[in-house]
Structure 1
Amino acid sequence: MHRILALFALLFVAFTLSPAPASADPADIDAAARGVVRVIVIGHDGEEIFPVSHGTGFAVGGARVVTNAHVVQEAMDDDRLDIGVVPAEGDQAVYARVVSVSPRNDLALLELTEPLGLPPLTIAGNPPQSGAVTAVGYPLNVDRAQGLGQSDIFRAQPPVTATGFLSGRRPSREFDTILHTAPIARGNSGGPLLDDCGRVIGVNSFGTESAGSDAEFFFAISTRELLPFLRANDVQPRINSLTCRSLADLEEEEIARAEAQARAEADRAEREAEALAQQTAEARRTITYEVLDSRTNGMALSLFMLIVALGAGGVAAFGHMQRDMRLRAIGGAAALVAILCALIAWVSRPAFAEIDERVQEALREGAVDEGPSGTIATPEPTASAAASLTCVLDTDRSRVVGDPAEDLDIEWSGDGCINGRTQYGLTSGRWTRVFVPANEAAVSVNRFDPEAGELVMERYLLDLAAMRQARAARGQFVAPECGADEAASLDLASNQGAIINALPQRPNERLVYRCGPAMGAGEE
């Protein structure tokens, strides 16, 4: 009995202490949902239009939308019916035409008659095999539960998101599908199945028939079917094959990396201090011996010259007694010279106070920072001055949602200009530029640290209202041209602050680039 209780206790502790599985980031799902549309088969009664049926689709680039073949099949079979597309936000709905349809794997590609500026969804290049997923679409039962009428179907409505888990991959109806438990219903057909980063891993198509207590499962067409279909129709999809990681995880890793770097620098400083102390002690010992030897030699030389002076004095005295003027002069001169040499030898002895000075001089002359194999280590170049740089994406420190360029070549000038056309604002020693495009629902904040050689791009995927606010704030000032003085750069940074302060706490995407001299830069 005690063993059973102990086993249950261990299981309870293991369950409570085990890390919770990662859940989808709501900001990423919301951003992807803004590229999801309601696809409506439209009937006509005179000048009046009415919905015959509807499904879901999502943007894949330009004015192209993917949905299921069975969603638009009725309109293809009846010339009297049209296809309409209603976005998730805004007040514009447009007609669409079928570009291509593949009944075999239940895929269809539509082209809008007018562009809606829909953000294209990113497709996972390496879809997960397990974990949480989110289905996004327009289930009919939700519309009915909300009491939506026919006219409401033609108005922008946010899509419904439902979460579940992957249950495996299996072929169905002669095409590759993903089995999952994220609930879908009639109307969800053609909508995306998303991973935790809001990337498409499948196109929802159909579900199982369940009765009573049978578990419900749903099928999504896999990217193995979707990607060839898009490429065959000249659509270059946005693909991301990197691991889905949260910004919270990245920030924890950054803190750990900074702490490790601080410890490494402290250890290096301690080692350098120990090495310097050892080098100082060795230099002091060597120089002390040299000073003692010099002092001893000086004293010995002084004593010797005194002895010589005494001898020469004796010769001079003997010459005086013998009245030999020549011998007396030679002896006297020799004695005088010997005494002067003794005094010089005594005075020129190094003082003990010189030991410290000579130690410091020896350390200054011998301070060489050696790298591996005894070679002199040269500091890495910085980008603080004008330079041609190649910036490489650091995937270990980045959170990538879209499909950014892995390498960037930039021309940097010391006054904050990139590529000769984009002036950055200066704040706290870092150069910053905020980009608010007119045709994309995203705000980018780029920061460049020339001393560290680091370019950080943060992208915020915003809804229509937030984008309008950001564009209004951007319209309040004019960015200076390249070559502006420091005051203009400071002013630009201040003006951009109004946009940055209105952004969410965390971006959807953070790209960290390490920048160094471009290949061939400076070569003839």
Structure 2
Amino acid sequence: MLIAAVLTLPTPAHAQDNLDVAAAGRSVVRVVVVAMQEGEPQAIGTGSGVAVAPDRILTNAHVVADAAEGDAIIGVVPSEGSKRFTGKLIAYQPQRDLALIQLVDGRVEPATIATGPVPDGAAVAALGYPYSVDRARELSAEGFVTPAAPVKSWGHVSGGASSQRFDTVLHDAAIGRGNSGGPLVDSCGRVVGINSFVSNSEGVDAVFAFAVSVKEIVPFLRSAGVHPHTTGLPCRTSAEQATIDERLARSEDARAEQERMRAATAGERLSARRQKLRDQILGERDKGLAIAALLLVFGAMFVNGAFVLLSRDDRRLALAAGAAGVLLMVGAPIAWAARPDLDQADLRLATEARKASTQASAEGRYACRIDLERSRITVSDPQDTRLDWGANGCASGDTAFAPDDDRFVRADVSPREAVAAIRRFDPATLRYTVERYFLPADTLGAARALQAKYPARSCSAEGARMTGELTRAVRDLLPPAPNERLVYSCGHVQDGAATR
């Protein structure tokens, strides 16, 4: 019965949250410390760590105690790739159980630290290399220094008291020897603590774990001259974001219905406008007919006058009157022919529509504000952006986008970060979206190789075609969902002010 109850408990994370925690694993390393005496290895200890800068690894002080108190070699084994690195101890505070290792060679993707409060009951995951798992796998000596993904165990934050020695986060995620120094992350993959020790259950009570909290981590790093990437944004789980998206979708459906009603009303207005233009054209035709008749009448009068003057031998005035009469009579058929046709009503409507379309064109400069409600932000700094959009689907004059239904899309792979982005712009809604994927090393390498095949994507039809091909190819490599979705609402920039 108890087993059944356990099996029916809700899982602490959804698929999206697992993707975020998996991405955080890129920053986790195994720390191997080999104690030396007179040039000979005496003991080997292992723990875990997390990159807080490309060449800085944060771990527990007790993991590297041999290096701090004597002669020892520190090895750092990343979670991906094929290389292992050498490190040296540069900061050590046993009172906080924190230590900092500098990589002599190599680079590791740094993690983001969440500086906001950790809610009681929040889902968390411990990442690291527990010795019990290594032993069960019968890991060889070579296996300890071979890159491998960290073990992830889920749990929840408990509202229990902190440690007396330093500020800690109490949680029930399973950790053991070897997890020391590894990160405790939230559902968004941000570091909320460094796992340090567990409670003594004596085989009877439930085991709880203690992680050094961010209140200790950030001051320690800053005192060591390291300024890690931090965020104070709360972690919005995938379930919470899905609820928000559903509510926003209902709101958009309601607005779409209103648009349909407005379109029906606009159709009625269009019919009324067409009838008004037809009436106007009828008036113009009647006016043209009247002008033609007047020209004929006055032309005939002048010609008749010319004959009268000619009979009186006033040849000069007769010629002038005759010429004027002929001109007037010639102008009559011209005025008749110049009358507008009735079918010009639709042509005038089309001209008005083109003018309105030109005025409402998506082409132009935009100020795009981040929409925090629609966005799911885990590690990025939520900042507004600018978009200089061309009518041919080109941004900033040199960045080609590819048509995608009624929107434009583009894929980019960062040359510096392990990130791929899918960017979209919808000219109808003026909504700009950036989906960010945090990629493991093998996927990143494949994505960069694809991008290298399309080095020049100019703002042209060929550039748009190449952009579309690259975007489709990169999409096939990406995980099923992005780690972040940044949504911007854009407005035209006019005289320094943004307008919708």
**Same-fold status (TM-score > 0.5):** yes
Which string of whole-angstrom CA distances, capped at 9 and with x for unpartnered residues, describes residues 147-177 of structure 1? 1122221111221111222112533233211
Partners of 1:455 and 1:112 lie apart in 2 by 39
Secondary structure of the corresponding residue to residue 75 of structure 1: helix
Correspondent of 1:223 among 211, 214, 222:
214
Q: Establish whether residue 27 from structure 1 lines up as the match of residue 19 from structure 2.
A: yes
Partners of 2:254 and 2:430 lie apart in 1 by 22
In structure 2, the residue matched to 1:68 is 60
In structure 1, the residue matched to 2:490 is 515
Correspondent of 1:191 among 169, 182, 190:
182
Output the amino acid matched with 2:159: G
Distance 1:275-1:474 versus aligned 2 partners, 3 A rule: closer
Q: Could you tell me whether the CA contact under 8 Å between 1:119 and 1:441 is conserved in 2?
A: no
State the shift of 1:397 in Å: 0.7
In structure 2, the residue matched to 1:477 is 454
State the shift of 1:226 in Å: 1.2
Correspondent of 1:131 among 122, 129, 149:
122
In structure 2, the residue matched to 1:210 is 201
State the shift of 1:510 in Å: 0.9
Distance 1:428-1:272 versus aligned 2 partners, 3 A rule: closer
TM-score with structure 1 length normalisation?
0.70
In structure 2, the residue matched to 1:384 is 362
Q: How does 1:8-407 map to 2 (within 5 A)?
A: 23=14, 25-43=17-35, 52-78=44-70, 80-168=71-159, 170-247=161-238, 249-251=240-242, 253-267=244-258, 270=261, 384-387=362-365, 389-407=366-384
Distance 1:520-1:52 versus aligned 2 partners, 3 A rule: farther
Q: Could you tell me whether the CA contact under 8 Å between 2:435 and 2:483 is conserved in 1?
A: yes
Partners of 1:226 and 1:512 lie apart in 2 by 32
Which string of whole-angstrom CA distances, capped at 9 and with x for unpartnered residues, describes residues 87-146 of structure 1? 011111111122222222111122111232424244353322222221111111211121
Secondary structure of the corresponding residue to residue 158 of structure 2: strand
Q: How does 1:391-470 map to 2 (within 5 A)?
A: 391-470=368-447
Q: Could you tell me whether the CA contact under 8 Å between 2:169 and 2:213 is conserved in 1?
A: yes
Unaligned segments of structure 1, at least 5 residues: 1-15, 281-363, 365-377
Q: Could you tell me whether the CA contact under 8 Å between 1:169 and 1:176 is conserved in 2?
A: no
Partners of 2:87 and 2:231 lie apart in 1 by 28
Secondary structure of the corresponding residue to residue 203 of structure 1: strand
Unaligned segments of structure 2, at least 5 residues: 1-7, 272-348, 350-355
Which string of whole-angstrom CA distances, capped at 9 and with x for unpartnered residues, describes residues 270-289 of structure 1? 58979999xx9xxxxxxxxx
Correspondent of 2:475 among 500, 511, 516:
500
State the shift of 1:221 in Å: 0.8
Partners of 1:517 and 1:234 lie apart in 2 by 42
Secondary structure of the corresponding residue to residue 171 of structure 1: coil
Partners of 2:89 and 2:430 lie apart in 1 by 49
Partners of 2:259 and 2:446 lie apart in 1 by 49
Which string of whole-angstrom CA distances, capped at 9 and with x for unpartnered residues, describes residues 393-421 of structure 1? 11111111212342123433333333444
Partners of 2:260 and 2:398 lie apart in 1 by 42
Q: Which stretch of the first structure deviates more once superposed, 120-129 or 29-38?
A: 120-129
Partners of 2:215 and 2:404 lie apart in 1 by 47
Which string of whole-angstrom CA distances, capped at 9 and with x for unpartnered residues, describes residues 348-384 of structure 1? xxxxxxxxxxxxxxxx9xxxxxxxxxxxxx99x9671
Partners of 1:256 and 1:74 lie apart in 2 by 56
- Percent identity between the two aligned chains: 37
Q: Could you tell me whether the CA contact under 8 Å between 1:170 and 1:179 is conserved in 2?
A: yes
Which string of whole-angstrom CA distances, capped at 9 and with x for unpartnered residues, describes residues 452-474 of structure 1? 22211111122222222222222
State the shift of 1:478 in Å: 2.6
Q: Could you tell me whether the CA contact under 8 Å between 1:125 and 1:239 is conserved in 2?
A: no
State the shift of 1:63 in Å: 1.0
Which string of whole-angstrom CA distances, capped at 9 and with x for unpartnered residues, describes residues 182-206 of structure 1? 1111111111111111111111001
Query: What is the aligned-residue RMSD (CA, Å)?
Result: 3.4
Distance 1:248-1:152 versus aligned 2 partners, 3 A rule: same
Partners of 2:11 and 2:177 lie apart in 1 by 32
State the shift of 1:64 in Å: 1.2
Q: Establish whether residue 490 from structure 1 lines up as the match of residue 465 from structure 2.
A: yes
Q: Could you tell me whether the CA contact under 8 Å between 1:427 and 1:490 is conserved in 2?
A: no
Distance 1:22-1:211 versus aligned 2 partners, 3 A rule: same
